[in-house]
Amino acid sequence: MEGATERARRAQAGAGGANTGRPARWRGPAVLVALMLAAFTFNTAENLPVGLLELISGSLGVSLSAVGLLVTGYAVTVAVASVPLAHVTRAAPRRHVLTGLLAVLVVSSLAGALATSYGLLLVARLLTALAQALFWAVMGPVAVGLFAPAVRGRVVGALSVAGSLALVLGVPVGTWLGQRSTWQVPVAALAVLGLLSLVTIAALLPTAPADAAPAAYGTRPDTRRFKTVLATGTLSATGAFTGYTYLVEFLDEVSGFAPSTVGVLFVAFGVACLVGVGITGALLDRFPRAALTGAVATQAAGMLGLYAAGPHPVAAVAFLALMGGALGPVFMATQHEMLQCAPGRTDLALAANSGCYNVGIAAGAALGGLILALADVRNTFLAGGLLTAGACAVLCGGRFLGDDRDCAA
């Protein structure tokens, strides 16, 4: 702990020096925009097959469930590979790592667009997933290190907005483009976006030792807080995806919405997520801990509200918006916490957080499926809401284990 604290102090003390690797002021925003574009591209790549299921299935002659594995396998790869890759590359200059990851994104996207078989497409997807697993660990410290500590919450918020736009804009536009051409066209477009990010970062981000980056270590290293936030994020993700995975069935069977309306509600859910990320990003710098607690509590209220009032359409829409407005902010707030409480390197802490969050996604989907086999879909939101409430309890319980600021407003 003392060694990590001393490293954090040294990193902050040198944040304004000439050898920290921080670019000139005018370059910082340009690099941030490139990282936002990369975050948007990676998240779009992860979820794009959802909108292209039937097109890919018909083109490659495989079942819809096999195409669905392109998304599941992607998430599992990110969960498993995040920490090992961050550990292996911990000493490499961040500029080299980021340009390498974006090169993999470009090549794997082109390979996916040119794939003539399901096996080749799956391999291309897994390569993209490996790049994304490390990207989310490296990107955060690089981005916040470009700016003063007082605005780092807003930087994390900007990156999260870009990632959330993938669901609101990237996947719908990619689906529309694929339906009017072929599924290969939007996949190839990802390579173009990745190339734009690669060129910008390669040109503007200086090469510096990884340990010299201003945000290489947590500003307030705290092993107990790190474990608390990690557990909170994992429980929250498990709770959220216990219900969210089966949201279509819920809106149809419980709330009675027509299939055409369900599509509109998904867009509304994505917009609510985007709004929630924007609001939380503005609060992170002033109230970082309250922002996390508030996001988790809001998610719990939304899910339990859907369980209780789901049969009433108007109430269902309101609680759906509440859940959507919290889903993105929970992950964003845990990432921001990792930049502060990481007991060692922030990239390793962010990798652990991302990996655990993806484990929660997989566990939640599996738990929801089990509940669905034993009871009705409404109970998936009850279980998810209770798990999220448990995450709130973990956060607030941290104060009784020695951190009396966990529930500070």
**Domain definitions of the chain by residue range:** 21-153+163-212, 223-401
Residue with tokens 């096999």: 66
Query: Which among 228, 331, 210, 212 is positioned nearest to 277, based on CA atoms?
Result: 331
What are the residues whose beta carbons fall under 8 Å from the beta carbon of 45, sequence distance 6 or more?
105, 109, 128, 132, 187, 190
pLDDT tens-digit profile of 140-197?
888 888 888 778 888 888 898 888 888 788 888 898 899 898 999 999 999 999 999 9
Query: Which among 255, 371, 248 is positioned nearest to 311, based on CA atoms?
Result: 255
Q: Is the pLDDT of residue 219 over 90?
A: no
Q: pTM of this prediction?
A: 0.78
**pLDDT at res. 28:** 83
| Residues of the chain above pLDDT 90, percent | 43
> Distance (Å, rounded) from C-alpha 137 to C-alpha 288?
20
Give Cα separations from 39 to 33, 111, 291, 399 (angstroms).
Answer: 10, 20, 22, 34
CB count, 10 Å around CB of 402? 10
**pLDDT-based confidence at residue 260 (cuts at 50, 70, 90):** confident
Classified as helix, coil or strand, 217 is strand
Q: How far apart are the first and last CA of the chain?
A: 26
Residue 235 belongs to what H/E stretch? helix 223-244
Indicate the DSSP class of residue 169: I
CB count, 10 Å around CB of 57? 19
Highest mean pLDDT: which range of 210-214, 256-260, 305-309, 404-408: 305-309
Cβ pair 128, 112 in contact under 8 A: yes
**pLDDT-based confidence at residue 94 (cuts at 50, 70, 90):** confident
> Distance (Å, rounded) from C-alpha 284 to C-alpha 149?
12
**pLDDT-based confidence at residue 235 (cuts at 50, 70, 90):** very high
Residue with tokens 């495989």: 62
Q: State mean pLDDT over 243-259.
A: 87
* Fold that domain 223-401 belongs to in CATH: Growth Hormone; Chain: A; (1.20.1250)
Compare 190 and 369 and report the one with higher pLDDT.
190
| CATH class in words for 21-153+163-212 | mainly alpha
64, burial (CB in 10 Å: exposed 0-12, middle 13-18, buried 19+)? exposed
pLDDT tens-digit profile of 100-141?
999 999 999 999 999 999 999 999 999 999 999 999 889 988
Q: Is the pLDDT of residue 20 over 50?
A: no
Q: Say whether 223-401 and 21-153+163-212 share the same fold.
A: yes
Of 59-63, 259-263, 303-307, the poorest mean pLDDT is in 259-263
